[in-house]
Structure 1
């Protein structure tokens, strides 16, 4: 079971609502056809529709108890995309709020089959797409709380790098270990032919990695999700090992 100790569960739930409001404000202020550089092929309206669809996918999953094959992916005829986004988020928040985060439910990660998984996943989905729209609008990314960023680092490494890659049948081309260090926390990653693993570790264990990636929590969070350039963090050790970690994350999170 995933350890819920980097962020309070109520903060995750709160973040979904806050980020949805911020996303709506940004999208309302820019042309809907504006391209989103961090989501190639997407316009602002495409991203709004996507997020509204994801909210509905997750709510349907929670209600049915299994991954749905069909859900509402687009606004109804005549419905404004921003209204589609807002109603999807509100319905999802109502469902998530009605259940304790530790209550069992179907998810796609064996380590965490609880409502807390979906609180976490949707908080980060919402935050990252808010950042995407800020980039599209030509703005700097707004603030990301340190607790949310640290939790996002943990999710990116343990869920997406450590689990998702294996389900896709993807792995590295060379044996390499990279430590990711931010705030007071460290993670150890290992990649190579046929394997990708990530876990939270001690400082002593992190010291034994071939390469080190360091930076403020929000910067590391955005780096792991490809929202900043591969060189946008501090690092020591073989760059090949660091670039492999970054490239594998691009495959797992696309």
Structure 2
């Protein structure tokens, strides 16, 4: 499992991938369909990342720490002619807010980690994946940084598809364990696919679904997936890999993993 990157490296990747995203879309007709985001065109993709970065820029800059404080945060979509300027303004605001905020600063997030460091990591990967979406829309795909991609595998397995909430019950199932191997960086990850059952605090919605959680590396896997770190990251985000993945093992385990991925991130 890779080490988490330094805070400054997340900010560097966020800046570089956001700039690449904007540059590619500046040469792409806005009506062009985004192949990896069904129903979206290039204008929708541009506004989406502007809206996401605006949301987190306000949380970090204002040091907001509760869900009630963020409910009112909204970005109004302008006309297409103003989209590029909106994105430029919002990405600059996010990057400035994160640069001015120590990683350990408490801020609200939807995850268990409530820090600016979580926001920097999450937004670096948000920009990376949507940079790839922009490139695939324009037919100009470029390579993903292997170290960032390995960290992306760690984040998507441990946070986006994992991290079962403490308010429910999750019991690791060693009959369904998937090992992921990055063939270029040497990183490995082992997760269990098991059932989470719980009721949201305060009388909220009931949940009963499969999700992932970490298991020790010495637990024997029932299935395995191997590829470069970039291709693993793409595959887990349901974006097309460049090379081949090697997938083997229990069909039942792989089917449960596929169901988690189908219900997860987009």
TM-score above 0.5: yes
Matched, 1:51 2:49: yes
Q: Say which of 215, 238, 241 aligns to 2:250.
A: 238
Secondary structure of the residue aligned to 2:97 is helix
The 5 A counterparts of 1:86-235 are: 86-110=88-112, 112-140=113-141, 142-163=142-163, 176-182=176-182, 183-194=185-196, 195-199=210-214, 201-202=216-217, 204-205=218-219, 208-228=220-240, 232-235=244-247
Secondary structure of the residue aligned to 2:161 is helix
Matched, 1:253 2:265: yes
TM-score, with normalisation over the residues of structure 2? Answer: 0.82
Which runs of 4 or more aligned residues in structure 1 lie more than 6 Å from their structure 2 counterparts after TM superposition? 164-170
Q: Say which of 3, 14, 17 aligns to 1:16.
A: 14
> Aligned-pair distance for 1:232?
4.7
What runs of 5+ residues in structure 2 fail to find an aligned partner? 197-209
What runs of 5+ residues in structure 1 fail to find an aligned partner? none
Q: Is the 8 A contact 1:20 1:86 kept in 2?
A: no
Distance in 1 (CA, whole Å) between partners of 2:228 and 2:18 is 24
Structure with higher helix content: 1
Name the CA shift for 1:93/1:138 in 2 (closer, same or farther; >3 Å): same
Name the CA shift for 1:168/1:16 in 2 (closer, same or farther; >3 Å): farther
Secondary structure of the residue aligned to 2:178 is strand
- Aligned pair count reads 244
> Aligned-pair distance for 1:188?
1.5
Distance in 1 (CA, whole Å) between partners of 2:230 and 2:148 is 8
Matched, 1:40 2:42: no
